Amino acid sequence: MSLRIRNSITNAYINKVLEYCQRLLLTKKINLSQKYVDGRINSVKDEAIIRGILLGDRVLRTRLKEPSDPRAFGDIYLDMSEFKVPDFPINIKSFDTTNKNQRNNLCGIVKLINYMYNDKSCRDKVGIARAVKHSPLQIQRYGLIIISKTENKVWCGTFDEVPESQIFINPSNGFQISYPNDRVRRDDRQYMNMVKSKTHELFEKWAEPLKVFEH
């Protein structure tokens, strides 16, 4: 089986599972955490609540799994063993969608680029620039499960489907997103170009990585 065909099959499977997650979560009345002043603690609590709902579903319990390491890239993983490829990471995010200015961090930018570009040597900002400059033919997708704390809204998909207008740059945290108000379809080249454009925007705020990227 060619790499293109295998990727097409695995991408279709990922999309199907995420679509099911969205339908499932929309049927649930979910009380997410607003107990703590520190929103980061609320987010950790929310992840556990949502993960519990997904893993408790009879269809998903054999398809999804908890991360083996609490520092893992994903908050939950899609088991891809039947395709003989690594498990697919999914991040869980919760939003107050009545606050149109809320933006959530995706995750640490070094960890994100390390995963997307499959570059284990990427350990710092300069490493990010090198990875993006010498990018492979394809970068890895990863999943997002995004739930509103304040409205009956759920968005499940992959990062390459997030509209560019909902992706923001923060010099301290890298990429941030607002609640996606739509969904776009990008092929591999369009996805890579979007990530390259956003990382270049980030590099403009970091002097040394910009020099590496542009020379």
Q: What does the pLDDT read at residue 128? A: 83
Strand, helix or coil at 156? Answer: strand
β partners of residue 64: 78
Q: What is the dihedral angle through the alpha carbons of 38, 43, 49, 50, rounded to the nearest 10 degrees?
A: 160
DSSP-derived secondary structure for 18-42? HHHHHHHHHTS--------SSHHHH
CB-CB contact of 106 with 91 (8 Å): yes
CB-CB contact of 38 with 27 (8 Å): no
Output Rg (C-alpha) for the chain, integer angstroms.
17
Q: What does the pLDDT read at residue 124? A: 83
Global pTM reads 0.89
Longest dimension (CA), the chain: 53
- CA 52 – CA 86 distance, rounded (Å): 22
pLDDT digits (tens, 9 = 90+) for 86-104: 999 999 999 888 888 888 8
Q: What does the pLDDT read at residue 85? A: 92
Q: What does the pLDDT read at residue 37? A: 46
Contacts 24+ apart (CB under 8 A), 165-174: 167/194, 167/198, 168/103, 169/198, 169/201, 169/202, 169/205, 170/103, 170/105, 171/202, 171/205, 171/206, 173/105, 173/108, 173/109, 174/105, 174/106, 174/108, 174/109, 174/112, 174/202
User: What is the residue extent of each domain of the chain?
Assistant: 3-214
For residue 162 the two structure tokens come to: 């997030």
- CA 75 – CA 88 distance, rounded (Å): 11
CB-CB contact of 21 with 60 (8 Å): yes
Strand, helix or coil at 82? Answer: helix
Q: What does the pLDDT read at residue 2? A: 54
Q: What does the pLDDT read at residue 64? A: 97
Q: What does the pLDDT read at residue 204? A: 81
Residues in the chain with pLDDT values less than 70:
1-6, 33-41, 207-215
pLDDT digits (tens, 9 = 90+) for 114-149: 899 988 888 888 888 888 888 777 889 999 999 998
Topology of 3-214 in CATH? ECO RV Endonuclease; Chain A (3.40.600)
Q: What does the pLDDT read at residue 4? A: 64
